[in-house]
Each structure stands twice: as structure tokens, then as C-alpha cells.
Structure 1
Amino acid sequence: MAVKKIGSQTIKLLNPPSIISAGSIVGPKEGDGPLAQYFDKIVQDDLLGEDSWEMAESALVKEAANIALGKVNLTLDDMEYMFGGDLLNQIMSTSFAARDMKVPFFGLYGACSNFTESLSLASMIVDGGYADQVITTTSSHFSSAERQYRFPLESGNQRPLTSQWTVTGAGATIISSVGEGPYITYVTTGKVIDFGIKDAANMGAAMAPAAVDTIRAHFTDTGFKPEDYDLIITGDLGIIGHEIAMELLQKEGYNMSKVFKDCGVEVFDNERQDTHSGGSGCGCSAVVSCGYLYKELQAKKLNKILIVSTGALLSSTSSLQGESIPSIAHAVTIENKLN
């Protein structure tokens, strides 16, 4: 009997696991943004001494994990499972990192929703009593994503104003059956939503309906309202997608104006750094959450938040075949105190 299931899409964790550590590492552009002080490590060489952008991203994954482990004096040998993913074909960067890390591995692909997807599954496996210590990783890299989804950087193609800048960075968390919080208390799993958007340079518009669908499901299942949270933050809708989501939620009867933000809006100074519609990529919600949000929770400046990472499930093949962009969003509630 599914005693932890509430409503249609949400799980209430009865033994809420604790996020005992989080690590974040970013590239130079992110390190020049408004959240720089919250990141654990800023690298100036976005190749990290590697031979390719893809292997540089893999190095980011391993470094984020090392940072998170080092904060609590644990090693990879202490980790029972690893949940992780990225944007690349066959989640290449994460899989190659897992090859070196040698932790039992669940590879995930939820596009930019990957951060909360990994948190969701790691929390469920710990809450269910299947493990005591689990590590999650999520990453992206501007140059590897550009090469796969758009154009070679050497082409110097003009980016439309609706486009977003893929975050170079990785975040890692350690989810534990013991700890003093912050705790993951609810998981709302999203559905794939497709409103027929085909413009791969306007992914915020494609993802906004998925974010709205998951947030609405979360409120319906739990009975929570926007004012029950200190912050509700989406993954990488960017400026355009965030505005669309705000308007759609308003039409649903939810006034989100006091608590609603987006990681893609927060991570860059849009005007000074010329990121057009803001940040994107798996690493966007990962580094904002593992850097900024985790530290704000630790300092008790935030006590209850909802993170809704959003993902556009397109591929280079689907775009060339003229398909629309199906999208998804997964939500997790993180809070300092248990009721």
C-alpha cells in the first residue's frame, strides 16, 4: 500500500532525509555574476586542463562531489548510491565521472530538471530504508551544450534575445538518513507537458507550462499555498519563461508575486553580462541550489522552500525533424524544521 503517496503526483516522506552537505563549482562567467560569494569554487579556465569541453564538465562533476564530501569528512567509499545526469548524449560527462568515482550509479536524464529529479529519487531511496548515504550530482557546460544543441562556437552565430546562456558548473548533494537538516519533506513528480513550442532558442516559453502544471499539482496534493513558502524557485525558465509562468499561475488563482523566483534569472546579471533571457542548463538550478539556497537555509534566512527544476526534453535530432519541445518539471520541498 502506497502510504506515502498523497494526491496524484506527490510523496510525503515519512522519514525525511537530511541534506548534510552540498558542493558547487562554476566557471568564470558564473563567478562574475551576482551569486559569486555563495559558490564553493570558481574556476578561471573552463577547460579545467582537459582536452575537451565534455571532459571538462566531467571534471566539474567530480570536483563538486569532492567539495560536498570534504565538508562532512566523508569519502566516496561511504556513498551507497550515486544519482546524476547532464545534458549530453548518453549523459556522457556524468557517466565518465561515475567511472572514476566507482559508486553504484543511477544515470538520469531529465534535461534541466535533473537536479530535483536526482534529489527526488535519492530522497525516496533513503526514506524507504534502502540506503543511508547517497550522493547526487548535476552539471552542464556552456561549450558542450552549444556544440551539441546549437552551433560550433567558432561559427560566432548571433543569439536571439529569447535565448539563454547555459551555466558552466556542477552541484552535488549528500542525502543522509541522519542529520539536523535541512530536510527534504515532499516530492512532486512532474508530467511531460507540450504546448507545441518549436523554437529551441526560446526554451523558457516551452518549459513554463510544465513548471505551472507541477506547481499546481503540488498545491493541490499538499494543500499548501504560496504564502506557506519563503521561496518558490524554478530551475531555468529565464526572464521570458518566468514571466509566462507567473501569468499562468495568476490565472490559476495563485498570487506568487512575493515568493516566486527563477534560478536562471538569479545566476547572472543579465544586462551587464549580456545573457539575453538569463541562465539555463542542468547546472543552473544545481549551482544556485547547492551554493546560494543551501547556504541561506543553513543560515536560517530561508526555512521552507520549493525548488522546481524545469527541463526541455528536446534533442538535436528532434529539432531537425521539426518536433515540438516536450518539457517537464520536478519539485521538492526543503525545510529546516520537521512538523
Structure 2
Amino acid sequence: MTKRVGKQTIKLENRPRIITTTSIVGPKEGDGPLKDYFDIILEDDLNGKDSFEKAESSMMYKAVQETLKKGNLKEQDIHYLVAGDLLNQTAASNFAARDVDIPFLGLYGACSTMSESLCVASLLIDGDYADNVIAATSSHFSSAERQFRFPLEMGSQRTPTAQWTVTGSGAMLLSKEGNYPYTTYITIGKIKDYGQTDANDMGSAMAPAAVDTLKQHFEDTGRKPEDYDLIATGDLGMLGKKITIELIKEYGYNLSNNYIDCGDEIFDKERQKVQCGGSGCGCSAVVSCGYIYKNMLKGAFKKILLVSTGALMSPTTSLQGESIPGIAHAISIEFGGE
């Protein structure tokens, strides 16, 4: 019997459990509105390393190790590590995986990678291909800035539409059994590109992909926005969130009552001078591993939809004048009422 539902959605019959999570953030994120939900707040962005890239990799390694510790498991108990980041060739994840004894699948979905890794991990568990899988994601403000935009030493002025790449890493341990939040539906997104070329305006580039995936999820599952306690997009920021709310109205859906964007929530935009908010695949990673997951355990949320969004450009394509393709993947997480 097929597990496919509608055009782009998969129903997870075995309901993979998210046993535990770990969220690690930098000092700026640790000074924001969600600081009480993060497990570890770094004292400095370098985390004792001699480069920002090494610091990012060390965050993911630490997130994986802490998740193992919380789950009372060893590296040998994990069948797969599914992880990704923003750096070229997923370097942060590759070097974190180098130091653990776990089979590794590296993913690149730009800022959509937390949902993507959680989708793949859930499929591995649901299909009986694994008993325990860790899904992890990271990003770092300084490593991302000098890869995608300008070296920090230039002191470039940030545009009003710009977002601040989150320094953070999140990891989730998925398993087959237990009284924990579980994943139920996966909606794999399509790339949407409406010609946006400004690398300092990620929200506008990604919003159409978020709208398309949300619309398709609702159509495939028969669910409506009000069926969820919370719908959270990844890192559209303040501007992208507004665009998403307006665009999805054209399909008859109202997101005004239970919708947040992780990039819009993680910083105090005025006090912390981050323009439109947060971005980076570490953004939805730490918000979902911290704020969302911990509130699910408390019973504050019983049914949520996580829709991490990604801008799939590269420094090379931007220099060639290419537009910015957007992607979004949705995964529903529920707790209770089985």
C-alpha cells in the first residue's frame, strides 16, 4: 500500500519519535527573546577555534554528542547521521561527521536543511531502514557572510531587507518508540523562482516556495491552517513572513492566527539591529529544537507544522547574475492523541 498522499506528501505510518533535541547558539542569539529555550549558549563566536568555519563544525559535533548523551545512546547505536549546513560542499557537517563513528548522509537545502534532514531521518525510521537516526543542521553568521556576501573586515552597510545569519546548530534524535513527539506527514517542496536576484533580500526570494509547499500540504492532507496549534516557517524574516501571509490568501488560507517565522522570532530586531530578522539553516534548527520542541513536551503545542525555507543560490551563480531559486519542505509533528 502506498504511503503517498496527494501530489507531494507522504504519510508516516509508523510515526517516528523525536526522542530528544539539542540546540546550541552564539552570544547574539543567546541574548534574544528565545534565550531560555536554548541548551547551550556560546561565550564567543569562535568557540575556542581559530576560524569561524571550524567553530561552526564544532557546534554541530557538540550538538550531536549532547543529543547522544540525552538519549542515553552511543555513537554505535545510531544507524545514520543526516546533516547539512550552508558552507560549500557542506563542509561544517562533513568535518563534524569525520569525528563520529556514524554512517553519514550529507544534505544541502540551504536554509531548508533542518526540515529536509528531519524528513529524510523520518523516512529512514518509518521505512524500517534504521532504529535510531540523528538529524542535524548548522549555520554561522561570520562563515556565511564571507561566503555569500562580503568579508566582515569590509564593514559593509546592511540593507533594510537583509537578515542576520543565525550562529547555531540543532540536532534531533529520532527513534521508533516512546512517548515523545512524532512526525506524521512530509510534504516535499518544489523549487520556485520568480526572478529575485538580491542576495540581501532572502525573504522575498523564499516566500513563494513557502506558499507553494503550504498550499500543497493543505490540499494533499485535507488539513487547514486552523488544524495546527502552530505553523512555523524557517527564516523568511519579517518581510518574507508578510509576503507569505498575503500570497497564501489567494488560495483561500488564513495564517494570521497561528503562524510564526523562526527568523522573525529569534532576535529582538530593533535592539539587536538585525534588520528583517534571522536566517541561515541554524535558524529553524535551534528554534524547532528549542522553543518548539520544549513547548510540545510541556503540552503547549500538540500539532505543529515546520516549513523550513531555503534560498538555493551560490556565490558563483550570484556573480553570474542568476536569480535565486527558493525551496521549502514541510513536516508535521504531533504529540498526544494517538
- Give the TM-score, by structure 1 length: 0.99
State the alpha-carbon separation in 2 of the partners of residues 64 and 266 from structure 1: 22
Deviation, 1:337, is 2.5
Deviation, 1:236, is 0.2
Change over 3 Å in CA distance of 1:78–1:103 after alignment to 2: same
Alignment of 1:109-120 (within 5 A): 109-120=108-119
Whether 1:21 aligns to 2:11 is no
Amino acid at match of 1:22: T
The residue that corresponds to 1:65 in the other structure is: 64
State the alpha-carbon separation in 2 of the partners of residues 134 and 196 from structure 1: 37
Contact kept? 1:19, 1:176, Cα under 8 Å:
yes
Whether 1:166 aligns to 2:165 is yes
CA deviation map 1:88-114 (0-9, x unaligned): 000000000000012101000000000
More deviation, 311-320/45-54: 45-54
Alignment of 1:201-220 (within 5 A): 201-220=200-219
The residue that corresponds to 2:280 in the other structure is: 281
State the alpha-carbon separation in 1 of the partners of residues 330 and 65 from structure 2: 26
State the alpha-carbon separation in 2 of the partners of residues 75 and 330 from structure 1: 30
The residue that corresponds to 2:227 in the other structure is: 228
Contact kept? 1:138, 1:286, Cα under 8 Å:
yes
The residue that corresponds to 1:139 in the other structure is: 138
Whether 1:126 aligns to 2:132 is no
State the alpha-carbon separation in 2 of the partners of residues 166 and 220 from structure 1: 32
Contact kept? 1:54, 1:93, Cα under 8 Å:
yes
State the alpha-carbon separation in 1 of the partners of residues 175 and 218 from structure 2: 26
CA deviation map 1:228-247 (0-9, x unaligned): 00000100000000000000
Alignment of 1:37-116 (within 5 A): 37-116=36-115
Let me know the Cα RMSD of the aligned residues. 0.8
User: How many residue pairs align between the two structures?
Assistant: 338
State the alpha-carbon separation in 2 of the partners of residues 124 and 179 from structure 1: 17
The residue that corresponds to 1:323 in the other structure is: 322
CA deviation map 1:30-86 (0-9, x unaligned): 000000000000011110111111110000001111221211211212111010000
Amino acid at match of 1:68: T
Contact kept? 2:64, 2:171, Cα under 8 Å:
yes
The residue that corresponds to 2:261 in the other structure is: 262
Gaps of 5+ in 2: none
Contact kept? 1:183, 1:337, Cα under 8 Å:
no
State the alpha-carbon separation in 1 of the partners of residues 179 and 255 from structure 2: 29
Contact kept? 2:71, 2:173, Cα under 8 Å:
no
Amino acid at match of 1:324: S
Contact kept? 1:80, 1:104, Cα under 8 Å:
yes
Gaps of 5+ in 1: none
- Give the secondary structure class of the aligned counterpart of 1:159: coil
CA deviation map 1:273-309 (0-9, x unaligned): 0100000001000000001101000001000000000
Contact kept? 1:167, 1:279, Cα under 8 Å:
yes
CA deviation map 1:131-162 (0-9, x unaligned): 00001110000000011001110100001010
The residue that corresponds to 1:195 in the other structure is: 194
The residue that corresponds to 1:181 in the other structure is: 180
Q: Report percent identity of matched pairs.
A: 61
- Give the secondary structure class of the aligned counterpart of 1:270: coil
